[in-house]
Chains A and B, each alone.
Chain A
């Protein structure tokens, strides 16, 4: 079935089964590999993207359900890594292996778009779906706070 999706402000037409999770359409059909596969059951957050600005797990979202919506992936968060969350991530040096970080950054970006100065419990609640096996959590908290400062500067 032909579906046309709005990905990072660009129309993309793909021929897939409508129930195909958006994650695989992004990675294998379109070649946007920044969004990662981690669990396939929406429990690790590695595939977090924005759909109409809301954080969603692409591994559980049928491609057909995203038609007509604004899909943003890590590649489309900014053209030059200039989003406040990306700046803060570089400044603090958050990533280790980096595999989960696209999802972490997308979750954090959605949080600071909604809350100007998130409290620690708010940060923990917003980021609790995103697993990091390297243990970068402490730096993630620090970087979310820094990102909210950058966003308001």
Chain B
């Protein structure tokens, strides 16, 4: 986990909003559609006085909070609002929210501290400055009242939007203007003790829900700008292929067609997506653009990459796991020596395919390039990076670029700065055409050209001692990722195996960053999502080889680690895990730590003799330290389970001839409602100083728990995914 240095400078800069009054800031939910819809100016709709960049308070007491983060279904708007409101102490029912201005963040030297949303970091890492913004505003309101009343600030109480001292009373609205001018000698501390929170920690409905049941929530794909034209794009089906020629004459007479725009490949730098060779057709509607594009003859040259298949990658992975790789952490040569000398060795090789984000909102971006400013509507998890990206693409000053925050139709790690090149495409085309352009990738393009989750292979070998427990573990992982960008190389490629908690006396982990032409990126719970499966199925293999119950093994091997013991003991108590169910039925467990949270899962499955799998139940037990909104946190756990089951059970991208061949939902299958197990979430919170993430950690233990359950149901040991392609029959 990266540590961030949080500047508190921005709290101290008091500023009065244009209309006067105090703006402590967010606007929602009623005004949501209006405030976040497409705008040609980057402006606020909050009315009142700005106390700091986050908070605007109107004279009538309306509090608008500005959300510097993305709402992609994780409850980001609600989490930010809760954190600020806890310290500000205002009536939750009276809060409005609006998205913060990314351009202002840039102009004012990162005024919102962080405007990207990823890594399950919003609550766990951003809470100090978000709560701090609320606390700072509250103290300034108190100071303003204290000065007006001639009392000391310590005598003023601030509660639910009302200031009181003795028999004097006033509202936040009345003191907002004065508070905006207050300079505090020292910024207040935030309340770190969950026992003393009045708002956080209770289940809250999310603020964005009302706009998501009537079609009014605006996503980037819904952007409509006057004069806008539409583009459909086809990039080289084999990544890094070359566009040889296309015949625009063949389609230019079609209705509404405006132009064809070629796009040349440019390798991305760190933090920036690459552009692939592509051609865009621009028309007055998207359907006309897409239809014309499909009819336009295009010739590509693919080179060597056009031979690659999924099977080739697995073969290469199996070759590499037999060779020395890069050592992760400290090398322990004894691990291999002990295994070589042992008379009881367990070894297994695991493989998992490429997977794709497949956000329900297909990849798109709208850009309007004008001489003095550029406007961007993109489904991004990182608005500040989107500004820099577009500025770089166009060669303009980033301060003239306005990125409008829109709802995201799913994020899952794919919409960060290192996501897809669609925003660069839109900037390039808008500049060339001289009009606002909405670029939308057809679903087939969305899947084929996404930054995929790397294909992975790993071999794990252990020596088992006389007590049935491992004495040494030697592991090698192979992670197919592009060196040019390598966004998910490095330590991420080790997560899930390297960081297992078990007390094995000698361990050695090595990794190969294997070459591929397939662009890759982060996916929900990067690293742990692929490799956690391998480690936790292997744990069952080790435990059973040593005569141990797999859950007892995990408890034994984490002795002295109170957080792990808490999670595993809770799982044991709540799941009723057992290994003696009749054939055709099985339970399986797994536990993986990611994003600072320990997540354990117990799966209950049935498998018919003919191999039909039914996942009855998934119990997830988590220790994230603390949970500020159990309602949203539970949803995230349910969602993460579904996400990983979609890959492990029904998914799996297939590569043939260097290109992906299952690129729509008839062939790349996501989990459907009739396959979905009952998911139960239990928070076993250790408290202390831990703030773990919740948007991702429930995913990684899910596939191994199911695979381990299938073993008990069928006797078949699962070492690859998707399960749908495996023979699960039993007699």
Q: Which of A93, A99, A137 contacts B361 (CB 8 A)?
A: A99
Contacts of A77 in B (CB 8 A): 214
Contacts of B215 in A (CB 8 A): 32-35, 73-75, 102
Task: Indicate whether B59 reaches chain A with its CB closer than 8 angstroms.
Answer: no
In the bound assembly, the distance between CA atoms of A134 and B631 in angstroms comes to 15
Known: A28-B285, A134-B639, A138-B679. A95 touches B213 (CB 8 A): yes
A96 engages B674 (CB within 8 Å): no
In the bound assembly, the distance between CA atoms of A99 and B73 in angstroms comes to 9
Task: Indicate whether B643 reaches chain A with its CB closer than 8 angstroms.
Answer: yes
Residue count of chain B within 8 Å CB distance of chain A:
61
Tell me the nearest residue of chain B to A20, going by C-beta: B287
Interface SS of B by simple majority: loop
Tell me the nearest residue of chain A to B205, going by C-beta: A93
A97 engages B635 (CB within 8 Å): no
Q: Which of B206, B219, B410 contacts A134 (CB 8 A)?
A: B410
Contacts of B666 in A (CB 8 A): 41, 43
Tell me the nearest residue of chain A to B646, going by C-beta: A133
Q: Which of A43, A101, A124 contacts B673 (CB 8 A)?
A: A124
CB distance from A46 to the nearest CB of B (A): 6
In the bound assembly, the distance between CA atoms of A41 and B442 in angstroms comes to 11
Contacts of A89 in B (CB 8 A): 209, 213
B287 engages A98 (CB within 8 Å): no
B214 engages A133 (CB within 8 Å): no
CB distance from B131 to the nearest CB of A (A): 24
Task: Indicate whether A119 reaches chain B with its CB closer than 8 angstroms.
Answer: no
CB distance from A43 to the nearest CB of B (A): 4
Tell me the nearest residue of chain A to B667, going by C-beta: A43
A133 engages B412 (CB within 8 Å): yes
A133 engages B360 (CB within 8 Å): yes
Known: A41-B665, A131-B670, A133-B358. A28 touches B287 (CB 8 A): yes
Task: Indicate whether A148 reaches chain B with its CB closer than 8 angstroms.
Answer: no
B678 engages A138 (CB within 8 Å): yes
Contacts of A131 in B (CB 8 A): 360, 665, 670, 672
Q: Which of B75, B218, B230, B255 contacts A17 (CB 8 A)?
A: B255
Q: Which of B224, B288, B641 contacts A33 (CB 8 A)?
A: B224
Task: Indicate whether A21 reaches chain B with its CB closer than 8 angstroms.
Answer: yes
Tell me the nearest residue of chain A to B72, going by C-beta: A97
CB distance from B97 to the nearest CB of A (A): 16
Known: A90-B209, A96-B639. A141 touches B664 (CB 8 A): no
Contacts A/B (CB < 8 Å), 12 sampled: A29-B285, A33-B215, A39-B443, A75-B214, A75-B215, A98-B212, A99-B359, A133-B412, A134-B360, A134-B410, A135-B642, A137-B672
A interface, CB within 8 angstroms of B:
16-17, 20-21, 24, 27-29, 31-41, 43-44, 46, 73-75, 77-78, 81, 86, 89-90, 93-102, 105, 123-125, 127-128, 130-141
Besides A78-B214, A97-B408, A99-B219, 7 new A-B residue pairs in contact (Cβ under 8 A), listed by A number: A31-B224, A33-B221, A95-B213, A96-B74, A98-B217, A125-B674, A133-B358
